Structure 1
Amino acid sequence: MKKFIVLAALVLSLGFLANPAAGADDLSESHRFYEEISYLMNRGFVTDYPDGTVRPDTEVTRAEAAIMIGRVKDFDGTQRDTRFSDVSSNQQASGYIATAAKAGLISGYPDGTYRPYESITRGDMAIILSRLFITPFSVGISFSDVSSNMEAYEPIRRMLAANIAIGYPDNTFHPIEDVTRAQFSAFLARGLEPVFKNDATIENSYLRDKTKTYVYSTDTGDGEAHIHRHTYNYVPSRNGFPMGYIWSIYEEDGTLLNDTLENETREEYTIGYPRLEYYIHLVYPAEVGQTWYIDTPYAPQHTITDVGVTVETEYRTFTNAVEVTVEADPDEFQTNSYSYYMVPGFGEVKSVEVDGTVTKELIDVK
């Protein structure tokens, strides 16, 4: 319900006063993806059928997928001939299929067909959406039903990095499973709006809320506390490199410090920097004794030394933190030993050196 309130405010701020989904005969507010479908219908990306139904649980066809992504891109949907032998100008989706194919968002089969009435699979969905949205980053995956020789392998990695898809709790992705209109709507909504990306997470996720700004007091090495604001925002490109949605860190005066990536799979939580390295910040399950090591000069061995820890920050007191201790020889790693504290839904909330010096602390969430 909280998410719906946020969504309603967003919709009103954009000037959409009606809720077309509310009038659909076959879509109740209890449907898992009601909010996502409502969001897309309010923007005109999804429409109902002539009989007033949305048919959320029917499989989405390749033609319908072309229409939906075409509307997102504001393509010309005027019916026309296409390069596909089975899509003529008489086909309702022909205009969107032609423009989406020309833009490189969709492709046909080696025999020259598009097969507009076939259903879209989850693997197909990953391929299409990785082309539709800026998704230059990827994460490692270990799904038991996804192999590196699959066409959808890299797109699936990008969908995880972009918080558009997460897979299933049994560590599968179901790449050949057909996608329903509601599911496709959910994936589209996550690509467009951060509030929905918050749903593409594992249970008890450590990822931060992408609709909020996190303010930290940080010692950058000069012995002084600097105020840094972490904001999840859309950055089309940075220095000529495509970015998309990303966490940006700003100084107190608004100067951009850098951009960071916060990603999570069912195996680990990582922090990274665009075009640079990723660091494993936490491994799962988060249990005492877990250790990991990254063989770089900047990352000595990490060990989970306690769980359920109470940690006081200027923002609030947390009682469910995971303590990670980093044992470091200053001569070898150019850093002191320290501990940092991870909290579900907040990521790292505090970092303390062995002498008690606080080097990072969460002071506000807005």
Structure 2
Amino acid sequence: MKKLSVVAVVLLVFGLAAPVQGASDLPESHGFYEEMDYLLDRGVLQGYPDGTVRPDEEVTRGEAAIMIGRLKEFDGTQRATEFSDVSANQAASGYIAAAAEAGLIQGHTDGTYRPYESITRGDMAIILERLFIVPFRADVSFTDVSQNMRAYEPIQMIVAANITNGYTNNTFRPHQAVTRSQFSAFLARGLEPEFKNDATIENSYLRDKTKTHIYDTPYGVEHHTYNYVPTRNTLEVGYVWTITEEGNPDFLVDTVEIETREYYSFGQAYSESYTDLKYPIEIGKTWYEDTRYAPPRKITATGVTVETPYRTFTDAVEVTVESRPADMDNGFTYYMVEGFGEVKQVEADGTVSRELIRVE
């Protein structure tokens, strides 16, 4: 995606605006430059009177409400709020009131909002889950997130939506304060597929969300396109991989890819999904051993060379699905590649039942 230029950035510090020329402290080398640039261009993120955006400063709860309000185009006119510590004469009061009325933010049990406190990663997860349509969740076991936490379910959901993936030591750090650049990155990932590509684990098998992946199957040629679907059949959907079939206008399926540091799964929105890989990748690793609803799957080889019409892959993971007397099929093998997910599936008799033919 073409970078959006940062010019004539409008100032707003809790409602006090003044023009500035560029952001002097946001170099292109900053890890979240593009995300902040994107939000600056949209007017969601704004700067300070001295021409800075202070990417590494912590975001206050009031500033978070302002950014959410600008994103949702709420009326930010100052007014009374439901919170005892946010009066009508406070510059952020209009956005805080509007965001609370929309159910996007909440105060504390003592009736305060505490607008000058830094927002935490746990509170951020709660807000983002409300802000964006995320009708599915990941089963991820962060060592510092317990099921009795208010943020537990929202964290699972924003991981599934590729808004965040936690830290490499399997922590989420729900009580850690969020910086302006981090908050910008999370918002940008909720809005743009390109930025979702950055919220992946190391050596991810998730596909590039900015491209269409095309597969040949016995039933026709399928196009998998990542797109935003507000609703489908009255159900909220959000960002999903929509599958269409060449020459068949009636075929349309919304699917989801979910990846944590424990597994990769693929399935239909509001329906079943299957774990295609278990991490870490190890030959002999088997799953679905204790269920009658899915045949066992086993990693049978790594570093496999697989030829497809699209290209020859040289580092595929081979997964064999066992046949069982109660199953309708005779088993099959599929091949997973980093950055492409499943690239080929072969039935037990050697028939190719699915393969990647183009990426556009």
TM-score normalised by L of structure 1: 0.92
Q: Which has the larger displacement, 246-255 or 262-271?
A: 246-255
2:78 is matched with: 79
Q: SS of 1:333's equivalent?
A: coil
1:333 is matched with: 327
CA distance in structure 1 between the aligned counterparts of 2:41 and 2:252, rounded to whole angstroms: 36
CA distance in structure 2 between the aligned counterparts of 1:216 and 1:51, rounded to whole angstroms: 53
Kindly indicate whether residue 227 of structure 2 is the aligned counterpart of residue 228 of structure 1: no
TM-score normalised by L of structure 2: 0.94
Give the conservation status (yes or no) of the 8 Å contact 2:56–2:181.
yes
1:50 is matched with: 49
Q: SS of 1:23's equivalent?
A: coil
2:301 is matched with: 306
Aligned pairs for 1:190-229 (under 5 A) are: 190-220=189-219, 226-229=220-223
Identity over aligned pairs, percent: 65
CA distance in structure 2 between the aligned counterparts of 1:116 and 1:122, rounded to whole angstroms: 16
Give the structure with the larger helix fraction.
1
Give how far 1:7 is off.
3.6
Q: Which has the larger displacement, 239-248 or 274-283?
A: 274-283
After superposition, what is the alpha-carbon deviation per residue over 1:184-227, rounded to whole angstroms, capped at 9, x for unaligned?
0000000000000001100000000000000000124xxxxx10
CA pair 269-325 structure 1, distance change in 2 beyond 3 A: same
Q: Which amino acid aligns with 2:225?
A: T
Give how far 1:337 is off.
1.6
After superposition, what is the alpha-carbon deviation per residue over 1:136-172, rounded to whole angstroms, capped at 9, x for unaligned?
1111011000000000000000010110010001000
CA distance in structure 1 between the aligned counterparts of 2:354 and 2:114, rounded to whole angstroms: 55
Aligned pairs for 1:127-276 (under 5 A) are: 127-220=126-219, 226-253=220-247, 254-276=249-271
Give the conservation status (yes or no) of the 8 Å contact 1:7–1:195.
no
1:362 is matched with: 356
1:315 is matched with: 310
After superposition, what is the alpha-carbon deviation per residue over 1:216-256, rounded to whole angstroms, capped at 9, x for unaligned?
00124xxxxx1000000000011111100001100113544
Give how far 1:296 is off.
5.7
What residue ranges of structure 1 are gaps of 5+ in the alignment?
A: 1-5, 221-225
Give how far 1:297 is off.
5.8
Q: Which amino acid aligns with 1:199?
A: D
CA distance in structure 2 between the aligned counterparts of 1:270 and 1:164, rounded to whole angstroms: 17
Give the conservation status (yes or no) of the 8 Å contact 1:350–1:358.
yes
1:121 is matched with: 120
Give the conservation status (yes or no) of the 8 Å contact 2:6–2:22.
no
Q: SS of 2:345's equivalent?
A: strand
Give how far 1:299 is off.
2.2
Q: SS of 1:328's equivalent?
A: coil
Give the conservation status (yes or no) of the 8 Å contact 1:22–1:28.
no
Give the conservation status (yes or no) of the 8 Å contact 1:297–1:333.
no
Give the conservation status (yes or no) of the 8 Å contact 1:33–1:182.
yes
CA distance in structure 2 between the aligned counterparts of 1:212 and 1:151, rounded to whole angstroms: 36
Give how far 1:110 is off.
1.2
